[in-house]
Amino acid sequence: MANSGYYIGLMSGTSMDGIDAALVEISDHGTTRLVQAISHPWPSSLESRLRDQVARKSCTLHEYGELDHLCGQQFALAVLALLKASDMDSDNIQAIGSHGQTLYHHPYPPSPFTLQIGDPSIIAERTGITVVADFRRRDMAAGGQGAPLVPAFHQAIFQHPAKNRVILNIGGIANITLLPASGKAVQGFDTGPGNCLMDLWCTRNTGLPYDEDGDWASRGNPHAGLLQKMLRDDYFQLPPPKSTGTEYFNMQWLEERLEAFPGIPAVDVQATLLAFTASTIEQALRRWAPSTGEILVCGGGIHNLTLLDRLRKLLSPMQVMATDDVDNGMNPDWIEAAAFAWLARQTLAGLPGNLPPVTGASHPVVLGGIYPASGRVS
Alpha-carbon distances, residue 378 vs 11, 33, 372, 374, 375 (angstroms): 33, 35, 13, 10, 10
pLDDT: which is higher, 63 or 4 = 63
Q: What is the pLDDT, as a whole number, of residue 185?
A: 85
Torsional sign, CA 82, 88, 91, 97: negative
Cα 7 from Cα 41, distance rounded (Å): 21
Same fold, 5-148+334-371 and 151-322: yes
Residue 200 confidence (pLDDT) above 80: yes
Condensed to tens digits (0 to 9), the pLDDT of residues 33-49 reads 999 999 999 999 999 99
The predicted pLDDT at position 258 comes to 98
Q: What is the mean pLDDT of residues 354-358?
A: 95
**Cβ proximity of 20 and 336 under 8 Å:** yes
pLDDT of res. 29:
84
In the chain, the percentage of residues whose pLDDT exceeds 90 is 90
Return the CATH superfamily for domain 151-322.
ATPase, nucleotide binding domain (3.30.420.40)
Confidence of residue 2 (pLDDT cuts 50, 70, 90): low
Average pLDDT, the chain: 95
Q: pLDDT, tens digit, for every residue of 5-34?
A: 999 999 998 778 899 999 999 998 888 999
Which tens digits make up the pLDDT trace of 51-65?
888 888 888 999 999
> Which of 193, 200, 171 has the alpha carbon at shortest distance from 281?
193
Residue 1 has pLDDT above 80, yes or no: no
Higher-scoring residue by pLDDT: 161, 182? 161
- Rounded to an integer, the average pLDDT of 265-271 is 98
CATH topology for the 5-148+334-371 domain: Nucleotidyltransferase; domain 5 (3.30.420)
pLDDT tens, 272-291? 999 999 999 999 999 999 99
The rounded distance, in Å, linking the Cα atoms of 333 and 338 is 10
pLDDT digits (tens, 9 = 90+) for 109-139: 999 999 999 999 999 999 999 999 999 999 9
pLDDT reported for residue 226: 98
Burial of 59 (0-12, 13-18, 19+ CB in 10 A): middle
Give CA–CA dist 79/62, Å, rounded. 26
Where are the chain's structural domains? 5-148+334-371, 151-322
The whole-number pLDDT of residue 375 equals 63
In angstroms, the Cα distances linking 145 to 170, 190, 279, 283, 285 are 19, 11, 24, 22, 21
